[in-house]
Amino acid sequence: MDARSLKQFVNLSDCLHFGRASEASHVSPSALSRSIKRLEDELGVDLFERNNRSVSLTHAGRLFLNYARDTLGDWDAIRNKLMEESGELRGEVSMYCSVTASYSFLFEILTRFRRDHPHIEIKLHTGDPEDAIPRVLSGEEDISIGAKPQNLMAGLAFKLIAVSPLVFIEARRKKGQIHSGNAQPEAEEWAGKPMILSERGLARRRVDQWFRALGVQANIYAQVAGNEAIVSMVSLGLGVGVVPQIVLDNSPLADTVRVLDIKPALEAYEVGLFTLEKKLASPLINALWSQLK
Amino acid sequence: MDARSLKQFVNLSDCLHFGRASEASHVSPSALSRSIKRLEDELGVDLFERNNRSVSLTHAGRLFLNYARDTLGDWDAIRNKLMEESGELRGEVSMYCSVTASYSFLFEILTRFRRDHPHIEIKLHTGDPEDAIPRVLSGEEDISIGAKPQNLMAGLAFKLIAVSPLVFIEARRKKGQIHSGNAQPEAEEWAGKPMILSERGLARRRVDQWFRALGVQANIYAQVAGNEAIVSMVSLGLGVGVVPQIVLDNSPLADTVRVLDIKPALEAYEVGLFTLEKKLASPLINALWSQLK
DNA sequence: TTTAATTATTGCATAAAACGCATCATTATA
DNA sequence: TATAATGATGCGTTTTATGCAATAATTAAA
């Protein structure tokens, strides 16, 4: 019995799926499978009824779940109590953000945090920015960086880091190259312009809304995963793209594209931190949270 | 945090001595030292104030001790609850006895126990029979096999396995060899007989009492550690020895010595199991305990 | 009924952790 | 000052845990 195994057990109890629970626990499915098996061997009872298609708690598993929750709570409690004693925070916080966000915001956030709390370990995971909120909601990560959605779901806390306009970009004309068409196209012209957009995500939804509001049918040339790829395609002259300004600020291709001053502007990206409100009770997470602004 | 480390921590808190606590935990002092260090690192506080000569709990250590005791209790509780569920006992029991006792009694006890409870692991440790009671009292072992002392200390439970007379032995005369002296010597003769005795232990105390009661001064030829060694020396004709009958029953030298019928006889050895009374509440220990007789 | 897809488990090689032994450093005792 | 006691530490070995790839079992689709 150790806190790690218990957490893994609770994670599996919550989602009843080895694959997902193993992600939530940041281990491979095989490691989780063995962990659970170890627990079952140690206790001498099966905790889960499982075949290759379904997982469910046994009666013993339900009893043990109560125990595990309590024990993890106690463990947190004593650790917090002793941290107060020592006046120094210590432990680990898991964090999730896109690679872009890690370039833009993370360094600044973490350098100060590391100085103030050298014994809080940050476990950073990067990936699709769209997963920022789901990962926090599922408990897979303590904190994530992402764009604030239209409406925040209950229990989710958000803290603004920066506002970055969502801008239209096109390839910067090479010297001597003739500009074909208007620099500030009218709505009607959009129907003709090939657009390069995120295949999904907040930026995409904003753009879709924008076109809908204008009553214009977009001519979508490419749907791309990742803002960097949009910049890249736009710089090749394949069409007009939409990315947050912050992406341009950190892009090596920034000077190969130019920002179009289009009205009405897209609603700006509000980039910030997400966490579960209840997690703000944790001194560790609170330390990171309240450091900002 | 795992049950093992917590138990080690509690053991050290109890005796405040790495060497002894490591024995109680059945690990080397270095392993214990590292274990405690691991805990301290994990928690970020010192649990013990220690220099090379003294160990004491810090304030944080006292807080953590409460936590550790509770957590170990909860762990025991859930394990017991789940064991009830499964109807099958599982876990481990530590046991201590002399090598002699392991030959004489252990096989019989354990074969049946293993059949009835195949998932209870017995951790057997052997050594000086005199340590049987101290080891149980200190909590170092759950159960031990040994001889019942004059008076049992409070809290200690005893269960008789066998009664074995404490007998005087001398070398069996070889065929044709002339017997020098009386087969049943009178008290006065003892003063002349060279005695081979345990250097300590219950048998030795009984023999000392016996001589004192007779008002005779023993002529001690050799003080030996271990009953087997006594049999061996006696069989070589070096003197008269005193051993429990059970030792002869299991000795390869048994037919090289003979038992003297001496009055008054020494009080018999009552060999049995020891455990702390409070430990009988544990289903595992109770299973072993109540299996007998 | 057959095929494909999903998913928990397991064999195997590797990596990490724990352990014991011997040694060291420190401190009390004689 | 010398000696004994005792907790920490370097180092080589053993044990344990992990991830990857392959497997087996089950459901859904064709």
- Write out pLDDT tens, residues B82-117: 988 888 888 888 899 888 788 788 888 888 898 898
Does the nearest atom of strand C lie within 7 Å of A57's Cβ?
no
Residues B257 and B192 in one domain: yes
Does residue A182 have a pLDDT over 70? Answer: no
Residues A206 and A257 in one domain: yes
Does the nearest atom of strand D lie within 7 Å of A51's Cβ?
yes
Cβ distance A63 to B85 less than 8 Å, yes or no, reads: yes
Sort strands B120-126 and B156-164 into parallel, antiparallel or unpaired: unpaired
Q: What is the pLDDT of residue B179?
A: 54
Residue B180 domain flag: no
Mean pLDDT of chain B: 88
Task: Quote the minimal CA–CA distance from B51 to chain A in Å.
Answer: 20
Residues B255 and B275 in one domain: no
CB contacts < 8 A, A to B, total: 68
Lowest mean pLDDT among A41-50, A140-149, B213-222: B213-222
Residue nearest to nucleotide C22 (CA to C1'): B30
- Nearest alpha-carbon partner for A134 in A200, A57, A210, A204: A200
Residues A156 and A283 in one domain: yes
Asked if residues B230 and B197 have their Cβ atoms less than 8 Å apart, the reply is: yes
Does residue A246 have a pLDDT over 80? Answer: yes
- Nearest alpha-carbon partner for B194 in B157, B238, B131: B238
Residues B152 and B284 in one domain: yes
**Which of helix, strand or coil describes residue A220?**
strand
Highest mean pLDDT among A34-48, A200-214, B165-179: A34-48
Residues A41 and A66 in one domain: yes
CATH of the domain at B48: 1.10.10.10
Residues A68 and A127 in one domain: no
Residue B74 domain flag: yes
User: How confident is residue B150, by pLDDT bands cut at 50, 70 and 90?
Assistant: confident
- State the average pLDDT over residues A38-50: 93
Q: What is the pLDDT of residue A175?
A: 60
- Nearest alpha-carbon partner for B76 in A1, A6, A41: A1
**Which of helix, strand or coil describes residue A194?**
strand
Residue B225 domain flag: yes
How far apart, in whole angstroms, are the C-alpha atoms of residue A250 and residue A248? 5
Does residue A71 have a pLDDT over 80? Answer: yes
Range of the domain at A171: 166-176+185-267
Does the nearest atom of strand D lie within 7 Å of B19's Cβ?
yes
- State the average pLDDT over residues A65-83: 94
B88 touches chain A (CB under 8 A): yes
Neighbours of B171 (CB within 10 A): 18
At which of B29, B60, B85 does a domain end?
B85
Mutation site for B-interface testing, chosen from A45, A65, A66 by largest number of B Cβ within 10 Å = A45
Cβ distance A78 to B63 less than 8 Å, yes or no, reads: yes
Task: Quote the minimal CA–CA distance from A274 to chain B in Å.
Answer: 27
Does residue A49 have a pLDDT over 80? Answer: yes
Q: Which residue has the tokens 């138990």?
A: B7
CATH of the domain at A210: 3.40.190.10
- At B185-199, the pLDDT tens digits run 566 667 678 999 988
- At B212-236, the pLDDT tens digits run 888 888 888 898 888 888 999 999 9
Residues A262 and A278 in one domain: no
B74 touches chain A (CB under 8 A): yes
Q: What is the pLDDT of residue A86?
A: 81
Cβ distance B45 to A3 less than 8 Å, yes or no, reads: no
How far apart, in whole angstroms, are the C-alpha atoms of residue B147 and residue B272? 6
**Residue A39 gets which letter from DSSP?**
H
Does residue A85 have a pLDDT over 90? Answer: no
What are the two backbone dihedrals, phi and then psi, of residue B251, each rounded to the nearest 5 degrees? -95, 135
Does the nearest atom of strand D lie within 7 Å of A56's Cβ?
no
A-facing residues of B in 97-156 (CB < 8 A) are 119
Does residue B177 have a pLDDT over 80? Answer: no
Assigned token pair, B245:
């009958």
Helices (H), A117-200: 132-137, 187-190
- Nearest alpha-carbon partner for A167 in A230, A229, A237, A102: A230
How far apart, in whole angstroms, are the C-alpha atoms of residue A118 and residue A112? 10
Residues B66 and B206 in one domain: no
- At B252-270, the pLDDT tens digits run 999 999 999 888 888 898 9
Q: What is the pLDDT of residue B102?
A: 82
Does residue B175 have a pLDDT over 70? Answer: no
Residues A35 and A98 in one domain: no
The residues, any chain, with a CB within 8 Å of residue B284's CB and separated by 6 or more, are B89, B91, B92, B93, B120
- At B277-288, the pLDDT tens digits run 999 988 889 999
Crossing angle of helices B59-86/B3-15, nearest 10°? Answer: 130
Least CB–CB distance from B1: residue in A43, A75, A86: A75
Cβ distance B74 to A78 less than 8 Å, yes or no, reads: no
Domain count of chain B? Answer: 3
Q: What is the pLDDT of residue A272?
A: 93
Assigned token pair, A138:
């599922």
- State the average pLDDT over residues A133-148: 89
Does the nearest atom of strand C lie within 7 Å of A53's Cβ?
yes
Task: Quote the minimal CA–CA distance from B15 to chain A in Å.
Answer: 23
How far apart, in whole angstroms, are the C-alpha atoms of residue A257 and residue A236? 9
Mean pLDDT of chain A: 88
Lowest mean pLDDT among A96-100, A185-189, B29-33, B114-118: A185-189
Does residue B123 have a pLDDT over 70? Answer: yes
Residues A155 and A283 in one domain: yes
Q: Which residues of A touch B74 (CB under 8 A)?
A: 67, 70-71, 74
Does the nearest atom of strand C lie within 7 Å of A37's Cβ?
yes
Does residue B139 have a pLDDT over 90? Answer: no
Does residue A177 have a pLDDT over 80? Answer: no
Does residue A187 have a pLDDT over 70? Answer: no
Q: What is the pLDDT of residue A172?
A: 87
- At A117-132, the pLDDT tens digits run 888 888 888 888 888 8
Residues B282 and B137 in one domain: yes
Lowest mean pLDDT among A192-201, B2-11, B147-156, B185-194: B185-194
- DSSP class per residue in A253-267: TGGGEEEE--SSPPP
How far apart, in whole angstroms, are the C-alpha atoms of residue B234 and residue A189? 116
How would you label B172-182 residue by residue, b for 16+ Cβ within 10 Å and e otherwise?
Answer: beeeeeeeeee
